[in-house]
């Protein structure tokens, strides 16, 4: 992979912004941890260094009842406060819905959308409307047979303060630009409702740099969220907003694109970055996949087309294009992954969990370690190799093995994966 020279926000900007993770799920969503409850989410979010977290799944009746029990509306900010942890993080009402419908040449469109509501009353109206389209009790992420356009236009009649954001916009199976079920543009997907779509979630397998290659997205805000299914995954991607910490400001920031920056996975670590066929353990770059006719070289079946391939199909700019006046992205490796490599511990090791607790307590939060502490502070607080690892991550000196067909990629700080080269993303956010 090639070296990327990029300009990042200053340290001063870190002090004038807060981190938000707007897309998560609750214990009521399928394949989610039973620990995804408000007390746990708030506690872990605090350790991460998040100031704002989406509630996820407000459409589920049982979860909505729990949200009203645990959270209190704060009229001064338009956000929600967890009663047992008033110092934060605060919460904002969010949910994800799955739409399966026919439009144009495809009879099986599958698009996931994030809904953000300004208060419990509006969320209740949304739930009443959705309950007439299908069951809200089967899953925390309910499914409806309605088009993107129809849903958005109907929601706008409830409140113009509702935000609708295409979720993980590039994943192959369930997204607005997905290779197998999506569209080639927002206008094609939303038609007359397109003016109400202010942002997309880039997802783990893509980052803003990849999306900048598509000029049609120039007016769209690019946000990043974790889509966490367990507390440990909170904040693995996040969006930094300028203060004040209010619903009105978040709405304005998303609508106008005036965000501070985003926290990104290395997109190669996402599980749909490359093309491939997991059953045969075949991982392919878009160029290799095209040369093979999009078929697995081992079994001959169709491969899963990844996010990088899909972006290249729609891109009208060369790789490396940097648009003017856009918030850039900070690529990080989650602290738990760094600790696992540095101390040679299993990701499920109890010792690893204790080390995470120790160092986040010492630094104040995970993002303090990854983003804010100076080199001298890191060296004085941490073992030498751990401090070195964090500094290398800040400079983008990591090795990556791309994910494909539902298989997560791997990022290493000290170990190379042959024949890949180091991926260097120079980040001037940090001065040592």
Digit-coded pLDDT (tens) for 68-81: 999 999 999 999 99
Supply the mean pLDDT for the chain: 93
pLDDT digits (tens, 9 = 90+) for 154-195: 999 999 999 999 999 999 999 999 999 999 999 999 999 999
Residues 6+ apart with CB under 8 A from 408: 269, 270, 271
Domains in the chain and their CATH numbers?
4-269 (3.20.20.140), 334-427 (no CATH)
The secondary element (H helix, E strand) that includes residue 151 is helix 148-158
Phi, psi (deg, nearest 5) at residue 96: -125, 135
The answer to whether the beta carbons of residues 63 and 57 sit under 8 Å apart is yes
Whole-structure pTM value: 0.94
Residue identified by tokens 């509006």 is 122
Q: What is the pLDDT of residue 94?
A: 99
3-state secondary structure of 102: strand
Confidence of residue 415 (pLDDT cuts 50, 70, 90): confident
3-state secondary structure of 99: strand
Residues 6+ apart with CB under 8 A from 28: 57, 60, 62, 63, 139, 140
432 pLDDT exceeds 70? no
């Amino acid at each position: 992979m090639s070296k990327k020279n990029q300009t990042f926000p200053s340290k001063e900007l870190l002090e004038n912004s807060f981190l938000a993770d707007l897309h998560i799920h609750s214990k009521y969503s399928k394949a989610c941890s039973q620990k995804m409850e408000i007390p746990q989410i708030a506690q872990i979010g605090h350790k991460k260094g998040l100031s704002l977290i989406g509630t996820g799944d407000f459409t589920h009746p049982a979860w909505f009842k729990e949200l009203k029990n645990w959270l209190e509306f704060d009229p001064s900010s338009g956000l929600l406060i967890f009663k047992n942890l008033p110092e934060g993080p605060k919460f904002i009402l969010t949910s994800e819905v799955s739409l399966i419908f026919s439009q144009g040449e495809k009879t099986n469109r599958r698009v996931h959308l994030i809904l953000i509501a300004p208060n419990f009353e509006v969320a209740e109206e949304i739930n009443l409307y959705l309950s007439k389209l299908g069951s809200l009790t089967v899953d925390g992420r309910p499914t409806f047979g309605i088009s993107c356009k129809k849903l958005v236009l109907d929601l706008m009649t409830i409140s113009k303060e509702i935000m609708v954001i295409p979720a993980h916009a590039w994943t192959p199976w369930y997204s607005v630009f997905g290779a197998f079920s999506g569209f080639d543009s927002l206008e094609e997907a939303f038609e007359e409702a397109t003016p109400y779509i202010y942002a997309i979630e880039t997802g783990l397998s893509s980052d803003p740099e990849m999306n900048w290659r598509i000029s049609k997205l120039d007016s769209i805000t690019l946000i990043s969220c974790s889509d966490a299914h367990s507390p440990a995954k909170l904040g693995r991607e996040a969006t930094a907003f300028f203060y004040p910490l209010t619903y009105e400001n978040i709405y304005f920031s998303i609508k106008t694109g005036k965000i501070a920056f985003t926290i990104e996975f290395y997109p190669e670590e996402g599980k749909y970055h490359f093309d491939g066929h997991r059953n045969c353990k075949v991982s392919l770059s878009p160029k290799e996949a095209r040369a093979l006719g999009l078929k697995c070289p081992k079994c001959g079946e169709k491969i899963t087309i990844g996010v990088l391939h899909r972006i290249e199909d729609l891109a009208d700019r060369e790789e490396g294009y940097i648009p003017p006046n856009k918030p850039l992205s900070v690529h990080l490796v989650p602290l738990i992954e760094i600790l696992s490599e540095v101390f040679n511990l299993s990701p499920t090791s109890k010792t690893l969990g204790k080390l995470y607790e120790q160092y986040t307590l010492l630094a104040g939060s995970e993002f303090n370690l990854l983003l804010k502490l100076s080199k001298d502070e890191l060296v004085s607080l941490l073992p030498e190799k751990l401090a070195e690892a964090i500094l290398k991550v800040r400079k983008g000196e990591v090795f990556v093995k791309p994910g494909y067909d539902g298989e997560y990629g791997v990022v290493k700080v000290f170990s190379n994966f042959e024949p890949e080269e180091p991926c260097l993303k120079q980040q001037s956010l940090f001065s040592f």
